[in-house]
Amino acid sequence: MLEGERDLVKKSKDGEVEAFGLLYDYYLPKIYRFVLVKVGQREEAEDLTHQAFLKAWQNITKYEHKGYSFGSWLYKIARNTVYDHYRQTKAEFGIEDADNLGLLIMEEDVESEAEKKIALSKILEHLKILKEVEEDVLIMRFVNDMPIKEVAATLGKTEGAVKLIQNRALKNLKESISKEK
């Protein structure tokens, strides 16, 4: 959670663009990653992320701090934006898509670059096999490092339920990859 977040949110509600600008700078990478992993296309991810932040700015007066952070509220908006997008089209991942994500991980180990690309592309593909909520939990937990409590608040579930969903998601992902082999 961003330091002084509540104050920034209050100022944003009062119409201070600088305050919302700071919130945008802090949450943009997280929301963008979340959206990008879900849709798999950089351009689409940029468009949907922009839409999500625009909705947040236009409706920030509706946000009330009820035990979860402003980030959780942003994730909810992003999720809804992506779901609306999914109703129209279903993104599919391939190895080109993994390249298109602009990942920096490959530069660390040049020898296994191709192998890691394939592995990552498989993960991204198999994430699409999971249920939406399972995919959301894995992205929030392992891509954006969100604590279980915040994930639970974002998804409107209990912490125990989130743990169960996470375990089930990993198991399903593992089984899906094993079946392919």
* Residues near other proteins, by CB under 8 A: 13, 15, 17, 20-21, 24-25, 28-29, 32-33, 36-37, 42, 46, 49-50, 53-54, 57-62, 101-105, 116, 119-120, 123, 138-139, 142-145, 170-171, 173-174, 177-178
Tell me how far apart the terminal alpha carbons of the chain are, to the nearest angstrom. 40
Which lies closer to other proteins via its Cβ, residue 29 or residue 94?
A: 29
CA dihedral (102, 24, 48, 62) in degrees, to 10, reads 160
CB of 136 to other proteins, least distance (A): 13
Which lies closer to other proteins via its Cβ, residue 57 or residue 163?
A: 57
Question: How far is residue 37's CA from residue 79's CA, in Å, rounded to a whole number?
Answer: 12
Which lies closer to other proteins via its Cβ, residue 48 or residue 155?
A: 48
CB of 121 to other proteins, least distance (A): 10
CB of 19 to other proteins, least distance (A): 10
Q: Which of 8, 145, 149 is nearest to 68 (CA)?
A: 149
Which lies closer to other proteins via its Cβ, residue 143 or residue 164?
A: 143
CB of 36 to other proteins, least distance (A): 6
CB of 157 to other proteins, least distance (A): 20
Distances (CA, A) of 159 to 46, 60, 71, 101: 30, 26, 17, 31
Contacts 24+ apart (CB under 8 A), 141-145: 141/166, 143/33, 143/34, 143/37, 144/30, 144/33, 144/34
CB of 74 to other proteins, least distance (A): 13
Which lies closer to other proteins via its Cβ, residue 92 or residue 180?
A: 180
